[in-house]
């Protein structure tokens, strides 16, 4: 099922971990509505990058989020975040630098450079975006965040 021109429901819900561990990752109606918000935001990102994106993680059910060690407050669980790369554009760092100046045009809540991918989150309907730009550093599997892209 297409959510937008370039993003499908299955693409934003697919998880190898969920498949491997037999975890139900089916969104409910509220999450489905948020996935439409996410897909529309990803369309704005795709347009700025000028080509396709590879989504490595979109919606995560609470059980899946726990299984992958996600934050208890993760926007992934609400269907409002995706982790991605865009190899045809460049490295995740190059993408982060390209997207950061367009925060208001994209309307993201968070853009996080996580090393080998980017995390982007969008605000729920009726909520203003924070335009937060962060870099995650992982030490012993634990993330610490600093402001900006470093």
**Three-state secondary structure along 38-50?**
HHHHHHHHHHHHC
Mean pLDDT of 79-89: 97
Mean pLDDT of 103-128: 97
For residue 29, what pLDDT band results from cuts at 50, 70 and 90?
A: very high
Q: Any idea what the CATH number is for the domain that residue 87 is in? A: 3.30.1380.10
**Residue given tokens 């529309």 in the structure block:** 40
Answer yes or no: is 113 within a domain. Answer: yes
Q: What is the pLDDT of residues 48-69, one digit of tens each?
A: 999 999 999 999 999 999 999 8
Structural domain count, the chain: 1
Q: What is the pTM of this model?
A: 0.95
Answer yes or no: is 128 within a domain. Answer: yes
Host domain of residue 69 = 9-147
* Exposure string over 110-132, b if 16+ CB within 10 A, otherwise e: bbbbbeebbbbbbbeeeeebeee
């Amino acid at each position: 099922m297409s959510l937008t021109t370039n993003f499908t429901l299955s693409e934003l819900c697919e998880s190898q971990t969920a498949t491997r561990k037999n975890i139900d990752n089916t969104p409910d109606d509220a999450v489905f509505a948020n996935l439409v918000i996410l897909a529309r935001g990803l369309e704005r990102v795709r347009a700025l990058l000028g080509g396709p994106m590879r989504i490595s993680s979109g919606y995560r059910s609470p059980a899946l989020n726990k299984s992958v060690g996600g934050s208890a407050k993760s926007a992934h669980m609400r269907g409002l975040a995706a982790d991605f790369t865009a190899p045809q554009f460049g490295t995740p760092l190059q993408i982060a630098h390209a997207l950061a100046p367009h925060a208001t045009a994209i309307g993201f809540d968070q853009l996080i450079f996580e090393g080998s991918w980017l995390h982007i989150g969008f605000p729920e309907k009726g909520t203003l975006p924070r335009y937060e730009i962060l870099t995650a550093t992982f030490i012993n599997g634990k993330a610490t965040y600093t402001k900006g892209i470093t």
